[in-house]
Structure 1
Amino acid sequence: MNIREIFARNLRAVRRDKGLSQEELAHRAELDRTYISALERNVYNPTIDVVARLADALDVEPATLLQRTTGEDQK
């Protein structure tokens, strides 16, 4: 799994864990809802600034959105 796939999976998981819709996350991060959707589907590459904005909006560290899970393929 590459870093974009990991980010997409983690973004969706954290957003859902926080009970937020894509619309609410987009509002909090001052981004478009369709952009959030595209990020979660691994369509776009987020900039480091976008990762930071999303992390702030989700009240997590940016590393949380990029972290591999234990035993995950390192490729």
Structure 2
Amino acid sequence: MSEKSVIKQIIGKTVKAIRIKKGLSQEDLAHECNVDRSYISMIEVGRNEPSVTKIFDLCTGLRVKPSDFFKLVEGEFEKLREQG
């Protein structure tokens, strides 16, 4: 798996984990970000890669700072690199 697709997967898993932790449905998050629920689903399964602007929108909807979001993504990426 390429690094790019690994990062897409990590972003998706991170969005999903935060969303669940905050008690939001995909529908709730989609509403907060002015996107369709299917777009959130595609991100969460790693089929869609959100732009940086969209990540900021997602972070607003998830009520997390973008810097904290990227720290989580970076941490997961580093874990995978150490294992690989």
Band of TM-score, shorter chain: 0.7 to 0.9
User: Any unmatched runs of 5+ in structure 1?
Assistant: none
Q: Which residue of 2 aligns with 1:46?
A: 50
Percent sequence identity over matched residues?
32
Q: TM-score scaled to structure 2, two decimals?
A: 0.78
Is the 2:7–2:77 Cα contact (8 Å) retained in structure 1?
A: no
Report the residue type matching 1:13 in the other structure.
A
Q: Distance between the aligned counterparts of 2:62 and 2:46, measured in 1?
A: 19
Q: Which residue of 1 aligns with 2:33?
A: 29
Alignment of 1:18 with 2:22, yes or no, is: yes
User: Any unmatched runs of 5+ in structure 2?
Assistant: none
Highest Rg: 1 or 2? 2
State the structure with bigger RCO (CA 8 A, min sep 6), 1 or 2. 1
Could you say what the CA RMSD is over the residues aligned between the two structures, in angstroms? 2.0
Report the residue type matching 2:23 in the other structure.
G
Q: TM-score scaled to structure 1, two decimals?
A: 0.87
